Chain A
Amino acid sequence: MMCPDNPKIKEMLRTIGVSSVNELFSDIPREVRIERLNLPDGKCELDVKKEIEAILKKNKTTDDIVSFLGAGIYDHFIPSAVFSIIGRSEFYTSYTPYQAEASQGMLQALFEYQSLMAELTGMDAINSSMYDGATALGEAALMCARLSHKSEFIFPRTIHWEKKSVLDNYSKGCGLKLKEVGYNAENGKIDLKHLKELVNEDTAGVYIENPNFFGVLEDEIDKVKEIIGNVLFVVGVNPISLGIVKAPGDYGADIVVGDAQPLGNPMNFGGPLLGIFGCRKKWIRSMPGRVIGLTKDANGKRAFCMTLQTREQHIRRSKATSNICSNESLCAVATAVYLSLIGRDGLKKLAAINISKARELAQRIDGIDGFKAPLFNAHHFNEFVVSSSLDMDVVDEHLREHGIQGGIRLNEHFEELKNTALYCTTETHVAKAHDALIKALEELV
């Protein structure tokens, strides 16, 4: 309850012409009123901090355990300057830059994000963010339907099952039919023959992930392009890999999606993430989400503002290209700062380190009796499937006892992959981490 004797409040009430704050709520019917919220009363900052500290202590962080988890969220090195910049409250306490003149900083930073990602992906335009890689894929499928007026969308079996569920939910509304294309059991790459069978005159778009969920690099991409011809081609990326892997724009992609969490955003137990969404110039007007454009002010000085807003929900309502409003702008700024700090050579090097480390780790695991890694005979990025003749539950439990978190298990969602797990390694793993894993696995034999 606000103190009614406060002279300022009294004056405010007098100006309004009421005698109490309660009077301002007189239009709320008695029958919908509540007594009070059944929550404890507010606490001071000190008490709240102590309480939450005690709760969060129950978490194990990457400082406490060695983790080989990836599967869409990755533990990469983030330079301190990234946190320093996104911790500037002029950035983080601002709203969507509706008033361009007072928001040039955020607008230019987002334009730089768009530009950096456009360069990485080979697209002309990147929007200023989607929620994550999964929803970006959902939006891409809708955009393909919008552009092509066709009814089927083809996606590979080699994507994360969560992504598949999101794609399914995003496609329901417009009645887009989803068709799954299988993979080659020997090399984990897309099954070209199956793809050929699925593509037809009803195909609105084809999605390929590179690297795919198994960490496999799809190097038969030219053949994919050949099969799908002029059908809209959507490519999903891990942006770190683009330090050395060809930009999808250079192999025929029309739309690029993915998650830029690896570029300067912590894992945060799953969010916020940063959905990448880009496309070729000719499709820009059908794109979802906010975009920042370069323009001029009244004095002819270079300036930035949100543009193509007539595609968006606040103007176009039911005819908008998407319902997205709040996005992940601050994460996009983090990514712009990250890429600026890491630079051209740094990103190339990081991509190479990830590949080398994964290959070495896979070879070492493969050298242990009862393990095969990588399961698929192909080039990988920083993840690979490990299979074992041992019971994986036993393996995981044994690793846990050594403070090691094994890779994510696959059998529940890929019934053909019994006793397998997806292992990930990045530049954050010191040599000791790999040694610990190998030693623990060797103990099992």
Chain B
Amino acid sequence: MSVKYGILTILSQSPKHRYDLKVTLENMMYKQWTLNPGQVYSTIDRLVRDKLVEEVSNAENDLKLYQITKNGREEVERWLQNPIEVLLLHDEFFFKILCAKRLNFDLLNKMIFQQKEAVIKKILQLHYLRKELENTAESEAMLYLIEGGLLHLEADLKWMDMISDLEGY
């Protein structure tokens, strides 16, 4: 996930100071993802350097307040509208299959079995998370992600079954 676009999204709604940005970003992810403060702060500095975000004076206290610039808004729009390149080998298991076949790895069957088990465990985890979120407000976006995650995992399982069939396991 891109911290950069998370920050730009939040600043598109209202100016924030550094710590507030970190907390809001974590809340947006239902506190499931703890951010390293250094990662957030260095990203803000880069966004300021690139003129996508600017500091504004804060009369109430000494904390630096950040707001998005016109360029920053255009950057978010561009990012939202551009499709993401699909890179199959970003999935390590795709790459593992490639390497295992190259080595004629004799435990390919076990490798697929274990990966199937891991995928099914993940599916059950998503089921529980979905159950938890169904009872909370403002969870629609995360429920969409869970459905997306389930569809990906479903495809992974079908693909592994296909390899098993082709390999005669």
Q: Do A and B come from one complex?
A: no
| Residues of B near any A CB (own CB < 8 A) | none
